[in-house]
Amino acid sequence: MKKLFIILLIAGLNWQCSSQNSFYNKNQNFKTNKPKLMVGIVVDQMRYDYLQRFYTKFGNNGFKRLLNNGFVLNDVHLNYTPTHTAVGHSSIYTGTTPSIHGIIGNNWYDKFLHKSIYCVDDANYVTVGGNTGGEKSPNRLQVTTVSDQLHLAQTMHGKVIGISMKDRAAILPVGHTANAAYWFNGKGNGHFITSSYYQNTLPKWVNEFNQRNLPEIYLSKDWKTLYNIKDYTESIEDHNDYEKNIKGENNVTFTHTIAEIFKKKHDFNLINVTPSANTLLLEFAKATILGENLGKNKYTDFLSISFSATDYIGHTFGVDSKEVEDTYIRLDKNLAELLSFLDKKVGQNNYTIMLTADHGALPTLPYLQKHKIPSLFFDNKKFTKYLKKIVYKKYQIDNLIENVSNFQIFFNKETIQKNKINTNKLANFIVNNIINYKGIAKCFTAKTIQTANFNERIIQYTQNGYNQKLSGDVIIIPNPGTVSYMKKGTEHSTGYAYDTHIPVIFYGYGIKKGSSNRYIKVVDIAPTLSYLLKIEPPNGNKGNIITEVLE
C-alpha cells in the first residue's frame, strides 16, 4: 500500500510539473511572439476626415485594405500644442508630450542661447552623402522612443531605421539608438543623405538608389490629375483665390508645369510639392527593406516611414483643393504597392503596421471668410509692436520683451533682474492687457500653467505643450480659425479639432479587425506598440495601452 502511494505521488508530481511546464511554455510563447518587422507610417498633415472624404476614390488594396482588415480608431487627438511636425513625430513614438520630451516646436526661441533654434540641428555632426543638410541629430529629444526601447530589450540587436523627405520626420521617430535615418537633400544633388551621428559613409544600397536619379526622372513630367478632374467632386473648384502657387509657376490650377520649372531652376526641392515625393519615398522604403534585409532576422526590426508631400501640398493649396485630393488618390496606390511588397518580402503575418498623422490642418483663411466662418490672420509683428508699447508705457523700460513666437512671450531676464522687476507682476499685467487683443481667446502666465488644474481640453493641451525649462513666460491660445503665417494655403499649430483629430489604424500581426469610437490620446500609441513588441514603454511615457486593438 505504501509502495502504491509513493507511485501515485510521483505520478501526480510528474503530471503537475508537466502541466506547469505546459503553462509556462504557453506563457513564454505569449511573451516572445512578436512581429518580425514593425512599420510606423506617418502621413504628414493628414486630417482624419480624409479617410471618409476620399473613400470612394480609393482602390481596394491601400487605405481600404487597412480600414477593412485592421483596427481603426475614430477619435484620436493630439493632446498638446503646438501641433507641428517635429512635435507630432516625437509624441507619437515617445508616448509623451512636449512638457516631457522637450521638442516644443519645429523651431523655437532658445532663451539660453538667445536665438531661434531648429529641432534637430547639431553642429557636432557633418553631412554624409552630400555637401550640406546633414548636420543633424536627435539630441534635443529628452526621452526614449519605442524603437530605443526595442533596441534596449534586444541588447541592441535588430535594425531601427527612419526615412522621410524631411530630416526631422526621419530622425525623431527612431530616437537615439537608431542604426540610421535618411532624408532627402533637395538643396544639393537630389539624393538621400544622413548625418555622421549615425554613420560615416552611406551604405552601398543607398548609393545605388541615389544613382538611379529618380527625382530627375519624376521632375521631367508635369503634374496632371490621375483621373478626370471633373470626377474630383470631394474638393472645391480648381480655379480659386485661396491657394498659393508653386514657386516658379504663375497659375494655381492643373496642369502644373513641373518639367518647365525644373528645367529653369534645377531645384530638387520642387519634388516636395508634388505627389512624386511620396512615390520617391515609397521606392526608397522598398530599397531600405531589401538593402537592410528587414524582417528576415532573429530579432524584430523597426522601420519608420513619414510621407511629407501631403504637408507641402496642403500648405500650398489648402485642405479642400483638387491637388490634395489627387495626392491622396495617388498615396492610396503607393500604400497598396507597399503592402504588396511587404507581403512578398517579409510575409503577410510577419509585420505590423501603425498608420497615423502628425497633425491636421485648417481650411484656407479666405475660403472660411467667404463662407462667413469666423477666422482671421494674426499679425505677429503687429502684435509684438503693440505688446512692447503697452509694457514700455507701464514700466518705462526698454527690452523687457525679448521674443514673441509660437504664441509665446519670452521676457528678457537680464533686463528684469537689472531693474528689479517682479516677473509674476509683469506676466499678470501682460495677460490682463492682451486678453482683449483681436485673435486671442485665452492667455496664461507660466506660473498659472505650472500650478493650476484645468478640465477644459484646449487648456489641458496647452499645459501638455508647456515645458517649464524651455517655454515662454506668457502662453497665448488664439481664437479658432486663426492663422499666423499664411493667408493663403493652410497652416496648423493649435489645439482645436481641425489640427488635433488624426487617423490611427493598426494592421497586421497581433492586431484584431474592428474599430472604436472611444476618445484616445496620441500618446497612447507608443505604449500600445510597446506591448505588442513585448518591451517596456518609452521612459517618458504617460499614455495607456489601447487594449481593444490587440488580438
Q: Give the span between the Cα atoms of 203 and 209, in whole angstroms.
A: 10
Average pLDDT over residues 542-550: 98
How high is the pLDDT of residue 31? 46
- The domains of the chain are located at 37-367+493-549, 379-438+440-478
Q: Which of 32, 56, 83, 85 is labelled catalytic? A: 85
Rounded to whole angstroms, the Cα distance separating 353 from 310 reads 19
Among 161, 198, 129, 120, which Cα is nearest to 284's?
161
pLDDT digits (tens, 9 = 90+) for 54-105: 999 999 999 999 999 999 999 999 999 999 999 999 999 999 999 999 999 9
Cell numbers found for residue 69: 482588415
What are the angstrom distances between the C-alpha of 51 and each of 113, 427, 444, 454? 43, 43, 36, 32
pLDDT at residue 16, rounded to an integer: 41
Contacts of 59 (CB under 8 A, 6+ apart): 332, 333, 336
CA dihedral 293, 163, 86, 65 (to 10 degrees): -80
What confidence score (pLDDT) does residue 32 get?
57
Residue pLDDT, tens place only, 288-308: 999 999 999 999 999 999 999
Which of 314-318, 395-399, 485-489 shows the lowest per-residue confidence on average (mean pLDDT)? 485-489
**Would you say 234 and 322 are in contact if contact means Cβ atoms under 8 Å apart?**
no
Kindly tell me if the per-residue pLDDT of 2 is higher than 50.
no
Confidence of residue 29 (pLDDT cuts 50, 70, 90): very low
**192 vs 31, more confident:** 192
Q: Report the distance separating Cα 100 and Cα 141, nearest Å.
A: 9
pLDDT in tens, 442-484: 999 999 999 999 999 999 999 999 999 999 999 999 999 999 9
Contacts of 486 (CB under 8 A, 6+ apart): 244, 315, 365
What's the CATH number for 37-367+493-549? 3.40.720.10
Indicate whether 321 pLDDT > 60. yes
* pLDDT(15) > 80: no
**Topology (CATH level 3) of domain 379-438+440-478:** Gyrase A; domain 2 (3.30.1360)
Quick one: pLDDT band at residue 187, thresholds 50, 70, 90? confident
Bond from prior residue into 82 cis (ω within 30 degrees of 0): yes
Asked whether residue 19 carries a pLDDT value surpassing 80, the answer given is no
Question: What is the 8-class DSSP label of residue 25?
Answer: H
The pLDDT score that the predictor gives to residue 486 is: 83
What would the 3-class secondary structure string for 433-496 be? HHCCCCCEEEEEEHHHHHHCCCCCHHHHHHHHHCCCCCCCCEEEEECCCEECCCCCCCCCCCCC
Mean pLDDT computed over 170-183: 98
Name the grid cell of 381: 509683428
Whether 127 is a known active-site residue: answer: no
> pLDDT tens, 217-228?
999 999 999 999
Give the DSSP H or E segment for 37.
Answer: strand 37-43
Residue 244 has pLDDT above 80, yes or no: yes
Residue 132 three-state SS: coil
- Has residue 509 got a pLDDT over 90? yes
The pLDDT score that the predictor gives to residue 10 is 39
Vertex 300: Cα angle to 30 and 513 (nearest 5) = 60
H or E segment at 41?
Answer: strand 37-43
By residue count, the chain amounts to 551
Tell me the three-class secondary structure of 63-100, residue by residue. HHHHHHHCEEEEEEECCCCCCCHHHHHHHHHHCCCHHH
Nearest-CA neighbor of 33 among 418, 531, 412, 533? 533
Residues 430, 410 contacting (CB under 8 angstroms)? no
Q: Chain-wide mean pLDDT for the chain?
A: 94
